[in-house]
Structure 1
Amino acid sequence: MSGHVLHLGPPDRLGVQVRTHPGATVFSVLRDALRAAPQGLPARWRAALRSSVPGGAVEVVRPVLFQRDCWMPDPLALVPELTAYGLSEVGARLRAVDPDRVAAEADGHFGGAPPAGWRAVVDAPRGFLDTYASVVDAVVDALGPRWRQAQPLLSRETERVGVAAVTGALDVLLGTLPPPVRYEPGRIRLAHACGVQRLADRPLVLVPLVSGYSAGMYGVDRDDVVWFAYPVPGLGTLAAGSPRGTAGTGRGPLDLVMGPVRAHILRRLPHRPSLGQLGDELSLGPSTLTYHCDQLAAAGLLHRQRRGRQVVLLATERGAALVDVLEE
């Protein structure tokens, strides 16, 4: 991914926050449910959500959500602000948006010649917002049980980021963010064209999503914050029907920051395990285990060494130091 760059500066000077923002989750879910953009929703979630949306409203809303570029007015992306509020308030906050302001922003973005799918926003913004809000309300109702079920995961993610901040492991945590962003020392590469920018004095806000496995959003052009939204770790436990998911896993700082699988790998590195040994211990297939090891290697925490027919894993100096700090 080449993309564009957001310069962060030294990780020990970052102001990182976590917000469990329901609007971002609803927008992500909505885009997948209306087949505007895949977000990795499990098929049965998608079907249930899609069936809950008013049929006539879909044709009005879907063209606005189906875009090739990354631009979307913050109110329509359901993130006009990043303050905490309840899931049930998402539709009401959308209805409170100034329709003329949204229309003017859209008209300006398209140079006074908006595409056909955006004509409803520009020509009849109040009607569009009301229709959009009815779709959002339907998604909120369908999503409600899943959102409540995910609260332990969201709380755990807040704890994970907090531990990373106080132990000096924020750069490692940022390295676990999935596409459409990629962390590199001192900067983040963005998938879409948003120009070269600097974080400056803005806080970096992480927004975990109760959406699909490949969900991802970000906003870098606001004056108050820069934010990244990503799937909350443990979503697979919700798909399997377990509301508490990770309750039986280790809860030490290393587990919180890295997740139980990667924490196990890091703990085993002093013994120079082979990929086969780790696969047996973790009950993981080769592709899944390789993915985790690739992420740890990209973060500079391990490296591989071939010995005959086997590939063994060894800790780097940085990986060993991270385990020492977090295990303490």
Structure 2
Amino acid sequence: MGIWRIGPDVLARGRFAVSPLTQTVAALNALHQGHAGPGREEWLRRHGPAYRERLAGDRVAALLVRAALRPRWLADFLVTPPHDDDRTFHDEVRRVRRTPADVVTADLTTAAGAPLPPELRVPDLPDRAAVLLEWVWTETVEPEWPRLRQVFEADILSRTGRLSTGGWTAALAGLRPGLRWLGDGRLRINAYDNPPRDLHPEARLMFIPTVTTSGWVTWDIPHRYAVVYPATGLLADPTPHAAADPPAAVSALIGPVRADILARLGEPRTTTQLAALTGHSLGSVSGHLGILLAARLLHRRRSGRSVLYYRTSLGDDLINPRA
């Protein structure tokens, strides 16, 4: 399946999206492989021992992980693309739990090329998989999810900006190893010599950033396809810093609250993030953002279900005046 052939309607519906479950599977795979990529060594040292202890006390989970996460292959039932109405990790993991046991067994047997051990031929295997994913989410992903989501949204903002100016060729450049937009509705998803696949005319195509060294492709045939890719910006310091104090003259000019908000928008943020950072209500932050937008000190761009705000060049000049 080296090339996906994508019709114009499918391409027009293509979108970038954030998926908590996808990030959880990426975290599970990193813990399983013992390799999380550059800049993630401390995360692996912090969570690796607890993960190994968790599997040591649950033989079924240990066998499940070994069968589901194999070199160049992830079990389909773990990585199906998110649905449009998914809002949280729990919305997504609910589908894992509802997967028929015979589908899970077939997935794992195909990968192994041999019958599964008796411990995995049990009717509650989908629930056991969901329980393990919930543990990985709660213990290793959820604590840093606000920061990761911010990184993912900034990555999406950058990609959609390239899409608007340079088309899909620019938006997908360097997305993940082996992937390349060839034009004429052809997306090379990897370098394997496999027959091309024609995506259904009603299919939804998604591109999902996550913490991964190379990413993967996944589908729920015939209507949902996704490309999971390594997000940029993950090497940034994970410790949240307070924004630099805006110049006193700017505070006097536009007011201290608006100046503080403007100072925090050197990178894209949502209204909710700004409310959490500043301690002001959502309504208050929204009002100030509207004034800053009207003054052309901010840009606004939609990213999936979120709206991100970031400074214009005029806003940059106010916060960081040139000598």
User: Shorter-chain TM-score category?
Assistant: 0.5 to 0.7
1:122-176 deviation digits (Å, cap 9, x = unpaired): x2141x3333233212211121121112232233334334434444532201113
Residues of 2 paired with 1:244 and 1:228: CA distance?
34
Residue 174 of structure 2 aligns to a residue whose secondary structure is coil
* Residue 135 (str. 1) matches residue 136 (str. 2): no
CA contact (8 A) 1:164 1:173 kept: yes
Aligned to 1:198: 198
Amino acid at match of 1:248: G
Which of 54, 69, 87 pairs up with 2:89? 87
Partner of 1:231: 230
- Asked whether the 8 Å contact 2:69–2:75 carries over to 1, the reply is no
Gaps of 5+ in 1: 257-328
Q: How does 1:301-320 map to 2 (within 5 A)?
A: none
Residues 119 and 227 of structure 1, relative CA distance in 2, 3 Å threshold:
farther
Structure 2 SS opposite 1:150: helix
Distance 1:59 1:221, change over 3 A: closer
Q: Give the Cα–Cα distance (whole angstroms) in 2 for the partners of residues 206 and 176 of structure 1.
A: 13
Please give the alpha-carbon distance, in whole angstroms, between the structure 2 residues aligned to 1:197 and 1:14.
Answer: 18
Structure 1 residue 248 and structure 2 residue 266: aligned? Answer: yes
Question: Separation in 2 of the partners of 1:41 and 1:117?
Answer: 36
Return the alpha-carbon distance in structure 2 between the equivalents of residues 166 and 196 of structure 1.
27
Gaps of 5+ in 2: 244-263, 269-297, 304-323
The 8 Å contact of residues 18 and 208 in structure 2, kept in 1 or not, is answered as yes
CA change 1:224–1:244 in 2 (3 A) is: farther
Distance in 2 of aligned mates of 1:161 and 1:72: 28
Aligned positions of 1:106-125 closer than 5 A? 106-107=108-109, 109=110, 114-115=113-114, 120-121=119-120, 123-125=121-123
Paired residues, number: 243
TM-score under structure 2 length normalisation:
0.61
The TM-score, its normalising length taken from structure 1, stands at 0.60
Bigger mean CA offset, 5-14 vs 80-89? 5-14
Q: What's 1:5 paired with?
A: 3
Instruction: Using the TM superposition, name which of 140-149 and 215-224 deviates more.
Output: 215-224
Instruction: Say whether the 8 Å CA contact 2:163–2:171 is kept in structure 1.
Output: no
Question: Structure 1: which amino acid aligns with 2:223?
Answer: D
Q: Hey, what's the Cα distance between the residues in 1 that align with 2:197 and 2:189?
A: 11
Distance 1:59 1:217 in 2: 22
Percent of residue pairs identical: 16
C-alpha RMSD over aligned residues: 3.8
User: Per the alignment, do residues 243 and 25 of structure 1 end up closer, same or farther by CA in structure 2, a change over 3 Å counting?
Assistant: farther
SS at match of 1:235: coil
Shift of 1:204: 2.4
**Kept in 1: contact 2:10–2:205 (CA 8 A):** no
> Could you tell me which residue of structure 1 aligns to residue 67 of structure 2?
64
